[in-house]
Structure 1
Amino acid sequence: MKPQSMHPDFSAVVQPNSEVRRVATGMAFTEGPVWIETEQCVFFTDIPNNAIMRWSEHDGLSIYNANSHFAIGLYLDLEGRLIVCEHTTRRLTRYEHDGRITVLASGYRGHVLNSTNDVVVRASDGRIFFTDPPFGVRQEDGQLYGYQQAMEYGACGVFCVTEDPNAPQLVTDAIYRPNGLCFSPDERTLYISDSSERYHRVYALRMQPDDTAVDPQVFFVMPAGVPDGMRVDTEGRLYIAGLDGVYVCAPDGVLLGKLPCPEMVTNCCFGGPGRHTLFMTAVSSLYAVDLASTGLQKP
């Protein structure tokens, strides 16, 4: 499928004659792609099958972890360790290089978390931020695969990790159903998607010195379905997963174009040589498209 331009500046995003291509399929519901530079591969999750998957141009598709606690969002920390949002345990974990698993966040104010969903690592200092909507525990809020349990602390927060897994720092609870998140290139703005039918918006919030995020402003309203995972390129353009593809917005929120997909896109990440390829998880498949832009995500 060919990219769809909606603004002249979209020419700086796509390569001539580039097309969205399917590189792997056969999964049940995919999410959380992250590029592993050292292995030249993509990790992503297949939630119903309780697996973290691995795909590379050289090796094709394989299972990295067959018992991931119904993992959803993934990211790498600054040391290249995998950060994992787990639905059934309702926690955020880190896979150490020696195979151990460290729990980074599991509770808040004496209650368990809702269901950690997406995660990002701030490049300037390595601090870890994650969203905690109820999608893994409440069917009426879009539950996919998790346990039917109640929200315990009474809200949906965006948090950053502290030394105490039971005391993450609240960044904001102003977003109704926070899902995807990413930073602007200067890390002064935090983008958060509200993946609810009520709002289906992406918000831009100002980061404060104490790592709270304030003044949520509507950045983009998803025209089809709800916004999900997001990534940003080196020029500050935002790539937003949606019902029928990835929507690309300029830093001022102007829609530049769309990378269409035949399945609902849940998330995306940059990878490949020079980070010029956008990988997209879309229900049963992993898709890729080669771009002229460069992904910011590091490592």
Structure 2
Amino acid sequence: MPDWIEQLDPRFASCVLPNAPLLTLGEGYAWLEGPVWFADANQLLVSDLPNNRILRWTEDSGVSVFRQPSNFANGHSRDRQGRLIGCSHRGRCITRTELDGSVTVLADRFRGKRLNGPNDVVVDSVGAIWFSDPHYGGNTDYEGGKHAAELPPTLYRLDPDGSLAVAADDFTGPNGLCFSPDERLLYVAESGAQFAEHPTRHIRLFNVADGRLHDGRVFHEISPGFADGLRCDQDGRVWSSAADGVHCIEPDGTLIGKILTGSTVANLTFGGRNRCRIFICASHRLMAVYTNVRGAQLP
């Protein structure tokens, strides 16, 4: 296998393609985040967060600017109507880009207090929007602008009727989110307090029933580094960001292999033909590699 594939368990051999190159699609960005694939347009959108813009990548045209300024957009997803759902650090809100290109603010307050700066977001099959709201967006001027937090770090659920509820509030830094293929499980990256000497960092796992979370527990601890963004494939494996690349974790919590990028990975998503290509936000580079798995069929 090439030196950028690290196999730790025989099960990983069937997940990767040694003859498929790990490519750099663009570089020189400030810090990439929030990738989301639009199969109908054959394009990837990704946040260049500190540069206050959303980039577009296509196979034919490469990287271009999709939106600037972006109000310091971070994580993204799509809803069941194909609209872009986004997290804004500076706006401290969740937004929806309508099909005509206009932007609607869906949530910016909880019980009269401003959100901190939503970080990552997923949409389930009934249209509920789940998003993490840590303090990261207001801790520095690099990713949106310092401000005093009005709410504790929280994981929220925004229902289709517009009601906003706490899904879980026992986090110090809720971050990336992804559902299992059957939506019975929700994985949440606990990235810890940003400047703590010994932050709590692991991937947590919750059972999901009737729109509520149950039985929260630790699923896996990433090393080196910590989990930021993560995605599931069709077979329920978790592909997580890490300090050395992308880690592949079996549903039983076993790390079976890595895609080594040579830099810290912030986030990733499946896309491309049959959702078998992983697009990787590798710090200041956008990378991609074809795999032998398919991403779970969720936005």
| TM-score, length-scaled by structure 2 | 0.94
Question: Which residue does the alignment assign to 2:135?
Answer: 134
Aligned residue for 1:137, secondary structure, equals helix
Question: Which residue does the alignment assign to 1:192?
Answer: 188
Picking from 176, 200, 215, the partner of 1:180 is 176
The answer as to whether partners of 2:50 and 2:144 remain within 8 angstroms in 1 is: no
The answer as to whether partners of 2:127 and 2:159 remain within 8 angstroms in 1 is: no
1:125-164 residue CA offsets vs partner (Å, 9 max, x unmatched): 122111000001124xxx74122111112x1111111367
Question: Which residue does the alignment assign to 1:53?
Answer: 55
Moved >2 Å (runs of 4+):
16-20, 162-165
The answer as to whether partners of 2:53 and 2:70 remain within 8 angstroms in 1 is: yes
Question: Which residue does the alignment assign to 1:270?
Answer: 270
Picking from 102, 113, 120, the partner of 1:100 is 102
Q: Provide the rounded CA distance (Å) in 1 between the counterparts of 2:28 and 2:58.
A: 16
Picking from 142, 145, 153, the partner of 1:156 is 153
The answer as to whether partners of 1:93 and 1:102 remain within 8 angstroms in 2 is: yes
Question: Which residue does the alignment assign to 1:3?
Answer: 5
Q: Which has the higher mean CA deviation after the structures are superposed, 8-17 or 247-256?
A: 8-17
1:107 maps to a residue whose letter is: R
Q: Which has the higher mean CA deviation after the structures are superposed, 213-222 or 42-51?
A: 213-222
Q: CA deviation at 1:187?
A: 0.8
1:50 maps to a residue whose letter is: N
Q: CA deviation at 1:218?
A: 0.8
Unaligned 5+ residue runs, structure 1? none
The answer as to whether partners of 2:127 and 2:160 remain within 8 angstroms in 1 is: no
1:282 maps to a residue whose letter is: A
Aligned residue for 1:52, secondary structure, equals strand
- What's the RMSD between the two structures over aligned residues? 1.5
Q: CA deviation at 1:62?
A: 0.1
Alignment of 1:218 onto 2:218: yes
- Aligned-residue identity in percent: 38
Q: Provide the rounded CA distance (Å) in 2 between the counterparts of 1:147 and 1:270.
A: 30
Aligned counterparts, 1:42-81, within 5 A: 42-81=44-83
The answer as to whether partners of 2:55 and 2:66 remain within 8 angstroms in 1 is: yes
Cα distance, 1:29–1:293 mapped onto 2, change above 3 Å: same
Question: Which residue does the alignment assign to 2:145?
Answer: 147
The answer as to whether partners of 1:138 and 1:149 remain within 8 angstroms in 2 is: yes
Q: Provide the rounded CA distance (Å) in 1 between the counterparts of 2:35 and 2:216.
A: 26
1:117 maps to a residue whose letter is: N
The answer as to whether partners of 1:207 and 1:214 remain within 8 angstroms in 2 is: yes
1:193-245 residue CA offsets vs partner (Å, 9 max, x unmatched): 01125122000011132x22122211110111121000000000000011110
Q: Which has the higher mean CA deviation after the structures are superposed, 212-221 or 16-25?
A: 16-25
Aligned counterparts, 1:255-294, within 5 A: 255-294=255-294
Question: Which residue does the alignment assign to 1:34?
Answer: 36
Question: Which residue does the alignment assign to 1:206?
Answer: 207
Q: Which has the higher mean CA deviation after the structures are superposed, 198-207 or 85-94?
A: 198-207
1:173 maps to a residue whose letter is: D
Q: Provide the rounded CA distance (Å) in 1 between the counterparts of 2:97 and 2:15.
A: 34
The answer as to whether partners of 1:228 and 1:240 remain within 8 angstroms in 2 is: yes
2:278 maps to a residue whose letter is: L
Alignment of 1:229 onto 2:225: no
2:227 maps to a residue whose letter is: P
1:93-113 residue CA offsets vs partner (Å, 9 max, x unmatched): 000011221111101111000
Unaligned 5+ residue runs, structure 2? 193-197
1:156 maps to a residue whose letter is: P
Aligned length: 292
Question: Which residue does the alignment assign to 1:87?
Answer: 89
Q: Provide the rounded CA distance (Å) in 2 between the counterparts of 1:273 and 1:162.
A: 31
| TM-score, length-scaled by structure 1 | 0.94
The answer as to whether partners of 1:30 and 1:282 remain within 8 angstroms in 2 is: yes
Q: Provide the rounded CA distance (Å) in 1 between the counterparts of 2:43 and 2:138.
A: 31
